Chain A
Amino acid sequence: MARQMSLSDADKPGARGMMLSSLRAAASGDRAGLARLVIAALVVLTLLALLLSTATGASNASAVDVVVSLLTGEPSSVLSQRDRIIVFDIRLPRALLGLLIGAALAVSGAVMQGLFRNPLADPGLIGISSGAALGAVLMIVLGGALPMGLVGVFGGFALPIAAFAGGLITTLLLYRVATRYGQTSVATMLLAGIAVAALAGAITGILIYMADDRQLRDVTFWNLGSLAGATWAKVLTAGPIILISLTVLPFLSRGLNAITLGEATAFHMGVKVQKLKNIAVVSVAGAVGASVAVSGGIAFVGIVVPHILRMVIGPDHRYLLPASALLGGILLLAADMLARTIVAPAELPIGIITALAGAPFFIWVLLRGRSSAGF
C-alpha cells in the first residue's frame, strides 16, 4: 500500500494526470475527485501510523521485525518472547484503541456540527462529556463506598462503565428536554446542554471538594485523558460500540448535507429529519461515551479535524465523515506517540498533547485559510 503512493509513482502520468484532473474539477466546484484522492492518501497514512505506533516505544523491537511478525503471524523466530508481548499485548491494543477513539471523536464532531449547523459544535454540546466526567468522578471518589460485591463484579471496568452511563443518561435527559410534540429543537438542546454542563460541573466540584489527595490525582489524570490503560479487553468493549456508530453515521451523509440548508428545507428535499436526529444523537452518544469511558477527556479532535478537512475537500458529509474518521485516528496516534516518547520512560496525558499542539495549529489554520474556507 505504502509503495503505491511513493513519490516516484506519483510522478507517473497516470497518478499525476488523475491528481491534476481532480484539482481542475475542484476549481469548478466539484470536489468529489479531490476528496477521493485525499481519502486514499489518508488510508495509506493510517496504516503507516498504525505501523509506526506499534514499532516505537521503550523496547528495541524494530519496525521491520514488527511488520514481519504482524504479516507472517509466526513471530517467535524474529521477535523475542518479551518483544512479542510488548508489541501484541501492549502496543497493538493501544494503537487500535487510539485509532478507534480518534475516529469516533472526529466523526462525532463532524456529525454534531452538521446537525447543529454550526462549525463550533462538538459532542460536548449534547452533555456527553460533562455527564461522563460526572460519572467517572463519582466512581473515583465514592466508588470505595460501594459494596465489595459490586466492585468485584465490574473490577477494572467500574470506572469506564460509570463514565459511559453518566454520558448516556445526561444525553437522554437533554434530548427529552429538547423534544416536544415529537420534534427536537437543536437550539433548545444547545442551551439546555450549557445548563446541564454547569450543573454536572458543580456536582463534580462538590465531589472534588470531598476527595482525598489520591482521588484528586486520579480525577485530574482522568480529565486530561490517556490511552495508557489500553488492553485488549478495553478494545473489545469500546470497539464494537464505536464501530457500530462509525458504520451507521455515514448513512446519514445525504441527510446531513440537506440539513445544512435548514431543517425545513431538508424535509422539503425528502429527508426524515426527526428520524435522522434520533439516529445521530444515539450514535454519537454511544461512540463518544465509549471513547471517553476508556480514555478520559481528549479535547479538540472533534472540532479541529472536520474543520481542516472542510477547507481541503469541502463540507460534503459523504466524504467528510470517512476522511474525518481516518484523520482523527492518525492525529490521535501521532499525539499518543509524542505522549509516550517526549518524557520517556514516563508519559504525558494525551489530552495535553492534543491541546498543546492542536490549539496553535488551529489558530494558524484559521488565519491562513479564512478566505478559502468561504467565511
Chain B
Amino acid sequence: MQGIEARFKLDWPTFNLNVDLHLPARSVIALFGDSGSGKTTLLRCIAGLEKAPEGRLIVNGEIWQDERHWLPTHKRGLGYVFQEASLFTHLTVMGNLLYGKRRIPDDQKVSLDQAIELLGISHLLDRKPDRLSGGERSRVSIARALAANPSILLMDEPLAALDLKRKQEIIPYLERLHEALKIPVIYVSHSADEVARLADYLVVMEKGHALASGSLADTLTRLDLPIHLGQDAGVVLNATVVELDQSWHLARIAFDGGSLWTHDQAFSIGKRVRVQVLARDVSLATEIPSQSSIQNVLQGFVDAIADDNHPSLALVRVKVGNVMLLSRLTKRAVSSLGVATGQSVWLQIKSVALME
C-alpha cells in the first residue's frame, strides 16, 4: 500500500497530540499551524525521534510503529531537515554529505551530483560549516538529507531561522525539489506563503489535533472551516504560462478550468506558476458582464454557499472547469442576484497574486 498512515496519541502534562492521518505517497504535504499546535512533535513522531506510546505508522506498506514494532530512527531510511541547519562542525560540507551516503546499502546509493546540483552547493564542498552563510548552511543540510536517498523527506521549518532575504534565496531551491523528487515531503511550516508556494496537500494542526487534512485545493475551499493562508480566504491554482502579450506586459496562464491574465514577470511560455486568488477579489454576475474594467471573467457553477466570518457576508464556492474558486459576497448581494446552488454564474476576478 502506498502512502503514509500515521496515528499518534501523546499525553504530556502541558500538551496533547491526537492525530489519525492518511497522507499521499508523492506530494509535498504541509503541516500547517501556529507554534504549539503540535506540528513539530508530529514530525518527530514520524521520524522516531519522539516515541508516542500509542501509535501506528505505516509508510509505503512498511510498518515503522505499531503495538509490537518500533523501528529506530536510523533504520527508517528517512531524511530530516532540522530547523537549524545542524551541520556537523567537525566535517567539511562534503563530509556532511557523505555521512549519510556511507551508511546506506550499496544498491540504494545515489550519486551526490543531483543533490549538489539541486541545491547549488558545488562551490562549497571543501568548506567547514563555520565558513558558510546561514542560507548556504540550510542548503547543505537539505542536500545532506537527500544524499542518503531517503524514502521520505521530513522538513521542520527549514526556513524559520533565516531572514527574509535568505528565505527568498532558498525557496526557489525548494520549488525545484518539489518538481525533481519522487518521494513524499512532509513540510512543517507556520508560514502561509511557504505553504501556498510549495504544498500540494495540507494538514492544518491546532492544539495537537488535525483540523483538516486534504489536497490543497480541497482544504482551502472547505466552507465549514475557516482555513486561510494569510489573512483571507482564497485558493491556490497551479497554472502554466501559455501566452505573452508583449505590448501590454501581460501573460496568460492556463489552469484546469480556464485561463487568466496576469502581469508578465519576465515569463517564458511553458513556465509553471502558482497563483493565489482571494475570495474578496472575486465577484459574481448572473449574466456575462459586457462593460467592465476587469479582464478576467470565467464561467462556472455555484457549488455551495456558506456563512462567512461576519453576519453580513457569505462565501460562495464556484466550480470552474475542474477547480473550485471562492467568492465573497454580501448576503444582500446573494439574495438580490438570487444566487443558488447549481446556478451558472460569471466570476470577475480583480486580482491574481503570483506566488513569488
A in complex with B: no
